[in-house]
Amino acid sequence: MTYQQSTPIDESNWFVVLFDLVLQECLKSIDGKTGTFLWLLSPYLTNFRLPPSWPSFASNATYPVSDVENFKDLMRLVVRHGVPVKIQCYPRATLATHQKERVVDNHEEFIDELYHIGCTITLNPDNHSKLIACSQGALNSSANVTGQGANPAKQGNSGDYFPFSAEPNSSYQAKLKQAEKWFNDNKTTVWRP
């Protein structure tokens, strides 16, 4: 593998990098650029509020996103602008062995909402990866895509951000290959309501 400089990510900036990656992918699509995509691998997901100043700031700087209040709104915006979103998480039975029933119910409700927004949802009982990848970079960390994962006071999450690199042996490309391996794994199934 070719060495690629990464940016260390910890609980103080994970949330910012996540928001920036997703929003920048959306803006790239709005600008008519091709090749956009968003992949989220997280054992479980929940909806969570975004800091109110972020969408307002982004709206003032570029495009109107002031109606984005939470992560679901952000996903809706991305899909509405043509970015294909693929998500992989645990099936209910696997998650239930790790989490309380209310967490499992919240997760199931949220992936149902994401499915109806237009996201592709896949399930794999063995994939504990936590990766957010798009055409501009990949964020590999220990954080689930949840409000708790985004809250620095709740968890000490850490990871690395790898910017886009066309080099076939780069760390960025390795992260994409890792995600594709899980999406194509023989235990992966497509979630349906």
- Residue 33 belongs to a domain: yes
- Residue 190 belongs to a domain: no
Q: What is the pLDDT of residue 156?
A: 60
Q: Residues 54-65: pLDDT tens digits?
A: 544 444 445 556
- Residue 192 belongs to a domain: no
- Contact call for residues 158 and 97 (beta carbons, < 8 A): no
pTM of the model: 0.89
Q: Residues 54-113: pLDDT tens digits?
A: 544 444 445 556 577 899 999 999 999 999 999 999 999 999 998 999 999 999 999 999
Structural domains of the chain, count: 1
- Residue 98 belongs to a domain: yes
- Residue 1 belongs to a domain: no
Q: Range of 137's domain?
A: 7-185
- Residue 30 belongs to a domain: yes
The residue type at 133: A
Measured CA to CA, the distance from residue 37 to residue 193 in angstroms comes to: 23
> pLDDT at residue 49 above 80?
yes
Return the residue matching tokens 């899980």: 182
Measured CA to CA, the distance from residue 34 to residue 26 in angstroms comes to: 11
List the CATH number of the domain containing 146: 3.30.870.10
Q: Which residue(s) pair with 175 in the sheet?
A: none
**CA 193, 75, 31: angle at the middle one, nearest 5?**
135
Q: Are strands 38-41 and 85-89 parallel, antiparallel or unpaired?
A: parallel
- Residue 191 belongs to a domain: no
